Amino acid sequence: MGMLTDEELQAYRKAGKLLAEVREQVRPLVKPGARLLDIADAVEGSIAQRGGKPAFPCNVSVNEIAAHYSPPVNDDATIKEGDIVKVDLGAHLEGYIADTAFTVSTGENQELVQTVEQALEAAIEVVKPEIDVGEIGRVVEETVTAAGFKPIRNLTGHGLARWSLHSGLTIPNVQEETGQKLKVGDVLAIEPFITDGAGFAEDKEKVYIFRYLRDRPTRLRMARQLLNEIKRDYHGLPFAERWLAKRMSKLRLELTLRELVGAGALWPYHVLAERAKGKVAQAEHTVIVTEEGCEVTTC
Ligand code: MN
Ligand code: MN
């Protein structure tokens, strides 16, 4: 198949299957009373138990939070009756990544959840070689607006490559002429985010997820050491503050990470919230473009 060797194709399929099993195992845990931290731990524990590694920290984002909330150490936030909860999980096998997400509504907003699932399904239907990636955005936007909701226009899907969570392609959730065409062997994460709010996500101050960018001089020797460990352990993939909690005190860790962000050594993924505090739903699958259409690895 195109740019992928048979081994690579098998690795993507294996990672996708592993992650789909984790998703279905964890889905029933997403209910009122559950701690967000327990959900993230269950996801990451189950990935490890099945022989994979997290491709990024599990995101558990509630209501108007769209993405990038990965519970910090000792987080006691719980799901409340009526909450709408996005769980976004990723796993890799030797760098071959699978990325999937689902939404659970514990109250109203069932229609928002159904619509985002329909939008993802419609998007997967149009995937084939030679289409402009903007075509995916068009069907997402049409499906979502027909139901009376809005896609979040500044959140997108992305191409995947070995050890890279965002390679080359950006997959819009609104109609766009991108000039970028799909080809056989492209690996894509398609992920509509939709809302009953303004349709725009913005950064909050909080950061719980980071990614190694480059070596930079640091003032603190400790920061230098931590950066080397991050580089070695996560291969440029995102990691959680929580994963480093055993290495030093919380205060010291926060200061060190802040210094590394300030030095340009780490990228901070700010928590993203819907601008008008609208409720947000997300659905996501990883697909591989084939001659006839695409193969979903995460179903
Ligand atoms: Mn994802
Ligand atoms: Mn993704």
> Has residue 128 got a pLDDT over 70?
yes
pLDDT band at 223; cut points 50, 70, 90:
very high
pLDDT at site 169: 95
Q: pLDDT for 142-158, tens place per residue?
A: 999 999 999 999 999 99
Residue where the block lists tokens 């699958």: 285
- State whether 167 and 224 are in the same domain: no
Q: Could you give the 3-state DSSP secondary structure of residue 193? A: strand
Q: Ligand nearest 87 Cα, by number? A: 1
The whole-number average pLDDT for the span 53-74 is 97
- State whether 171 and 241 are in the same domain: no
- State whether 197 and 232 are in the same domain: no
Which of 8, 191, 196, 295 is catalytic? The answer is 191
Dist. CA 284 → ligand 2 center (Å): 7
Spatial separation of the C-alpha atoms in residues 243 and 73, rounded to whole Å: 9
Q: Is 179 left (phi over 0), alpha (psi -120 to 50) or beta?
A: left
End-to-end CA distance of the chain: 20
> For position 34, which CATH number holds?
3.90.230.10
The whole-number average pLDDT for the span 36-53 is 98
75 is annotated as an active-site residue: no
**Percent of the chain with pLDDT strictly greater than 70:** 99
92 is annotated as an active-site residue: no
> For position 243, which CATH number holds?
1.10.10.10
Which of 166, 235, 254, 270 is catalytic? The answer is 166
Query: Does 85 reside within a domain?
Result: yes
- State whether 238 and 253 are in the same domain: yes
Domain count, the chain: 2
6 is annotated as an active-site residue: no
83 is annotated as an active-site residue: no
Dist. CA 178 → ligand 2 center (Å): 19
Query: Does 1 reside within a domain?
Result: no
* Cβ proximity of 43 and 26 under 8 Å: yes
Residue type, 168: G
Dist. CA 229 → ligand 1 center (Å): 25
- State whether 72 and 151 are in the same domain: yes
Structural tokens at position 174: 């609104």
Dist. CA 88 → ligand 1 center (Å): 5
* Cβ proximity of 187 and 161 under 8 Å: yes
Query: Does 76 reside within a domain?
Result: yes
pLDDT at site 35: 98
> Has residue 197 got a pLDDT over 60?
yes
pLDDT at site 220: 87
Dist. CA 101 → ligand 2 center (Å): 8
Q: Kind and range of the H or E element at 99?
A: strand 96-105
Query: Does 217 reside within a domain?
Result: yes
Query: Does 16 reside within a domain?
Result: yes
- State whether 160 and 236 are in the same domain: no
pLDDT at site 141: 98
Dist. CA 165 → ligand 2 center (Å): 7
- State whether 144 and 232 are in the same domain: no
Which of 88, 186, 241, 274 is catalytic? The answer is 88
- State whether 28 and 169 are in the same domain: yes
Which of 44, 64, 92, 158 is catalytic? The answer is 158
- State whether 141 and 238 are in the same domain: no
Query: Does 221 reside within a domain?
Result: yes
pLDDT at site 78: 98
Q: Which range of residues forms the domain containing residue 155? A: 6-203+277-296
Dist. CA 184 → ligand 1 center (Å): 22
Query: Does 65 reside within a domain?
Result: yes
- State whether 267 and 152 are in the same domain: no
pLDDT band at 18; cut points 50, 70, 90:
very high
Mean pLDDT of the chain: 96
The whole-number average pLDDT for the span 166-173 is 94
88 is annotated as an active-site residue: yes
pLDDT at site 2: 55
Q: pLDDT for 264-287, tens place per residue?
A: 999 999 999 999 999 999 999 999
> Has residue 168 got a pLDDT over 90?
no
Which of 83, 284, 285, 295 is catalytic? The answer is 284
Query: Does 53 reside within a domain?
Result: yes
pLDDT at site 23: 98
270 is annotated as an active-site residue: no
Dist. CA 99 → ligand 2 center (Å): 6
User: Could you tell me how many residues make up the chain?
Assistant: 299
Structural tokens at position 231: 């580089």
> Has residue 1 got a pLDDT over 70?
no
- Residue ranges in 27-133 assigned as alpha helix (H): 36-49, 110-126
Q: Could you give the 3-state DSSP secondary structure of residue 27? A: helix
- State whether 58 and 159 are in the same domain: yes
Please tell me the pTM assigned to this model.
Answer: 0.97
- State whether 220 and 191 are in the same domain: no
Instruction: Report phi then psi at 129, rounded to 5.
Output: -60, 145
